[in-house]
């Protein structure tokens, strides 16, 4: 990669260049449903089969409805290639010493939209107009109508892995 400032999730800027991806080391950015290419089910299936993505969840209903968990997709974390990984964070599997190994276009929307140091207290976060209280919350809202589908695909991959081990 030619420009060191482009090696993390955000647009090139001095702050991120100095920081070198504290966000990527804490929790991978969220994939948004709107980014999944057709055919949707096949694309998600292949992402999960490859082991580089996991299903995470917003614990509770992001719209105060009846769902208990709202599932969404994100890159896996180092040390965990679980299909369902509802852990509290970890280093993104795509982060190398040189920065993100994905091209800008391949990066999850949650990475591309992250704005450095713009939230109260100087925290980094997504633009307010995305309607989420955090990257995770915004992604869970974006996946809301597809949460069950994601869960079903995840269950199939879990079963596939069990059969391979058997």
Q: Are 126 and 29 in contact (CB under 8 A)?
A: no
Contact region for ligand SF4 (CB under 6 A) — 18-26, 49-57, 82-90, 155-163?
18-26
Q: Are 32 and 60 in contact (CB under 8 A)?
A: no
Is residue 107 near ligand SF4 by the rule CB under 6 A? yes
Q: CA-CA distances (angstroms) from residue 105 to 84, 87, 113?
A: 25, 26, 12
Site residues for ligand SF4, 28-47, by CB under 6 A, read 28-29
Length of the chain: 166
Query: How is the chain split among helix, strand and coil, in percent rounded to 5?
Result: 40, 20, 40
Which residues have CB under 8 Å from 134's CB, separation 6+? 125, 126
Which of 34/163 has CB closer to ligand SF4? 34
Could you give the 3-state DSSP secondary structure of residue 60?
coil
End-to-end CA distance of the chain: 42
Is residue 140 near ligand SF4 by the rule CB under 6 A? no
- Binding residue for ligand SF4, selected from 1, 4, 12, 22, defined by CB under 6 A: 22
Least spacing, CB of residue 144 vs ligand SF4, in Å:
22
- Binding residue for ligand SF4, selected from 44, 75, 141, 143, defined by CB under 6 A: 75
Is residue 109 near ligand SF4 by the rule CB under 6 A? no
Which of 89/131 has CB closer to ligand SF4? 89
| Site residues (vs ligand SF4, CB under 6 A) | 8-10, 15-16, 19, 21-24, 28-29, 75, 92, 94-95, 100, 102, 107-108, 111, 114, 116, 124
């Amino acid at each position: 990669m030619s420009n060191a400032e482009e090696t993390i999730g955000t647009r090139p800027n001095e702050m991120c260049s100095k920081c070198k991806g504290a966000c990527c080391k804490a929790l991978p950015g969220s994939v948004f449903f709107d980014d999944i290419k057709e055919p949707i089910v096949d694309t998600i299936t292949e992402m999960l089969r490859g082991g580089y993505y996991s299903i995470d969840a917003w614990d509770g209903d992001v719209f105060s409805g009846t769902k208990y968990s709202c599932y969404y997709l994100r890159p896996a974390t180092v040390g965990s290639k679980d299909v369902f990984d509802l852990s509290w964070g970890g280093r993104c599997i795509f982060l190398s010493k040189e920065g993100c190994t994905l091209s800008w276009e391949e990066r999850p929307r949650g990475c591309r939209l992250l704005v450095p140091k713009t939230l109260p207290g100087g925290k980094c976060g997504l633009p307010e107009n995305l309607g989420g209280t955090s990257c995770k919350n915004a992604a869970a809202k974006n996946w809301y109508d597809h949460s069950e589908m994601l869960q079903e695909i995840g269950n199939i991959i879990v079963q596939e892995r069990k059969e391979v081990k058997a």
